[in-house]
A = this chain, B = another copy of it.
Amino acid sequence: MENEKLLMTPGPTMLPPSVLEVMRRQIIHHRTKEFEETLNSLANNLKTIFQTKNSVMTFASSGTGVMESAIVNLFSPGDKVLSVSIGNFGDRFAQIAEAFQLDVVKLKYEWGQAAKVSDIKDILQKAGSENIKGILITHNETSTGVTNDIKAVAELTKNTDILLVVDAISSLGGLELKMDEWGIDCVVTGSQKALMAPPGLGFSALSDKAWAACDKSTMPKFYWDYKKYKKGLDGTGENPPFTPAITTMQAQAVALKLILEEGIENVYGRHKKLALATQAGIQSLGLELLANQENSSYIITAVKAPNGIDISKVIKTLNQKFNIMITGGQKELKGKIFRIGHCGFVSGPDLIKTFSALEMALSQEGYIFESGISLKAVQNQLKN
């Protein structure tokens, strides 16, 4: 009598029933009026969620693919970029840039910390604004549960020629990100996190400044070529240029409608409330957040493993006994933290259920606390 697994993971995230329903529909052809409705709906609603006037491109791709798309369209080999990394996915962006022979200046932080805007400012000033062509930065670092202050970084770049390229894969649709207003030049994201669709779609949007930069890029490209997509969106080429992931796009269109029905501000508010409730629950158990509370993500909460407890066993108990999936640390944080995702299609009751299971699993491993204390703390926060 097993329930479906509750994923409290950083992605993929749970799919709403109406998203699942559209997935089971017989395939339709992509060069049809019927699919044009999906394309139009996606086009409009993606603009709203990206908070941009420009078109958002949809790729059949993982998140890593659209990160690559940004590099190969905006830059040329040898271009100097500043990579700001606070964890695994920040490092990945730098690795992609290096693979494509960019000259990567690395600003790295201890895992669990947020980037300091003053550090970025110093580097830009020392380099001179002519020198650094772009900044690569993660909005929400999934590996550490830390959010960077993108608005403040954009203040440094928006009246310069520097391109601000933001990996918003785990944040877009869950955390506020005002692309045009803040002055971000490129935002990339994926379908499988706050956007509540299955994995398999990557999205990218550009500022006018970034579109102009595409004209100067000498990097070889074909599949990721933004200009091919632009032609499709302008009506001067096929839209999209290649056979799209039809069903996943239909699912994404439904999921975006759900987000807009709830209201994007309400969705942000729900993510914040769930995050604060998670923090309260964690602290009531005497556990410690990995990040400072002011940088701790509203998407995923990273928690230090308590001394003397084998955290992998706790995670395993949640998974096997309670059918709830949370995750451990990646790379250098392996065995040292656990992470509770609260992103996308997640509700207060899901969180209560997770803390109930967490209490039982921690208790089983010998961790001492007052039974039910975290449920009370979570509940109190959810009431606010």
Contact = CB atoms under 8 A, between A and B. Distances in A.
Contacts of A25: 20
A199 B243 contact: yes
A126 interface: no
A190 B101 CA distance: 30
A52 interface: no
A174 interface: no
Interface in A326-377: none
Contact of A242 (B9, B65, B222): B65
Nearest to A319: B32
A245 B199 contact: yes
A28 interface: yes
Contacts of A200: 60, 200, 244-248
B27 A24 contact: no
Given A11-B243, A12-B29, A32-B325, 14 more contacts: A12-B27, A12-B246, A14-B26, A15-B26, A20-B25, A24-B24, A29-B325, A60-B245, A61-B223, A64-B222, A64-B242, A64-B243, A198-B246, A200-B248
22 contacts: A5-B26, A7-B27, A9-B29, A11-B243, A12-B30, A12-B243, A15-B27, A20-B24, A20-B26, A23-B247, A24-B24, A61-B61, A61-B223, A64-B222, A64-B243, A96-B222, A192-B243, A199-B243, A200-B200, A200-B244, A200-B248, A248-B248
